[in-house]
């Protein structure tokens, strides 16, 4: 199971808010589709 602290740290990345939201949705969709805890894009929002 992913850690909340890692999730919050990834949201602090240096990118525009719109891109953060896009990556958050895309990476979570990958995790849902593959039934895994990680999307494979380490360090991005939502992973």
End-to-end CA distance of the chain: 11
pLDDT digits (tens, 9 = 90+) for 1-47: 566 776 677 778 788 989 988 988 898 898 889 988 888 877 777 77
What is the structure's pLDDT at 9? 74
What is the structure's pLDDT at 1? 57
What is the structure's pLDDT at 2? 61
What is the structure's pLDDT at 12? 80
What is the structure's pLDDT at 38? 80
Which residues, including other chains, have CB under 8 Å from residue 37's CB and lie 6 or more apart?
1, 2, 31
Q: What is the pTM of this model?
A: 0.70
């Amino acid at each position: 199971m992913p850690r909340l602290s890692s999730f919050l740290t990834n949201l602090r990345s240096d990118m525009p808010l719109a891109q953060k939201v896009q990556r958050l949705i895309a990476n979570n969709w990958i995790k849902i589709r593959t039934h895994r805890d990680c999307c494979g894009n380490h360090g991005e929002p939502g992973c």
